[in-house]
Amino acid sequence: MLQLILFGPPGAGKGTQAQALVEHFKFVHLSTGDLLRAEIAAQTALGLEAKRFIDAGELVPDETVIGMIRILLDRIDTVPGVIYDGFPRTVAQAKELDKMLTSCKEGITALLSLEVPHDELVKRLLLRGESSGRTDDTDIATIENRISVYEAKTQPLIDYYTQLGKYHPIAGVGTIQEISQRLISDVDKL
């Protein structure tokens, strides 16, 4: 089974491109962002805790996300592949994911990294904030903080997966279809 991490900064299009890969390959899509938003909407204890961090443009604590992923992995039956969207976000989470997958005799196949320039990210997030009502996408200071947090805490994953020979940079600019085709071509080679 392919184990793919769809990676990139906020606004890179991970959710949109994950759907294209799910439709094309029939993979399971594990989006921690969607799961956390569902918890927030349901006003669960996990959701309320996560909301405090998300609204400030910070990452949700590792133990919260890892606990949620463990539960989800236990529910997954045989599928052609899994796309991790929004996880891992830190090297510590990547190592924890590796441990979980190794215990299941699996491993990460590739980190598919959507590469998008900073100004394009800000533009996309502001547009998404206008159309979706997501409060974390409507304020420039929060957006800049989210990108800074990504650069400081999440971007080191590129080095981690490069050392493992699993880093695959994908140009994340152009039409949605052009980006999808680049991703599908890369996955076909795996």
What amino acid positions are annotated as catalytic residues?
14, 89, 128, 134, 146
Tell me the C-alpha distance between 10 and 122, whole Å. 9
CB neighbours of residue 52 within 10 Å: 10
User: Nearest CA to 6 among 105, 104, 116, 92?
Assistant: 116
Q: Which residue has the tokens 């949620």?
A: 68
Tell me the C-alpha distance between 63 and 86, whole Å. 15
Amino acid letter, residue 185? S
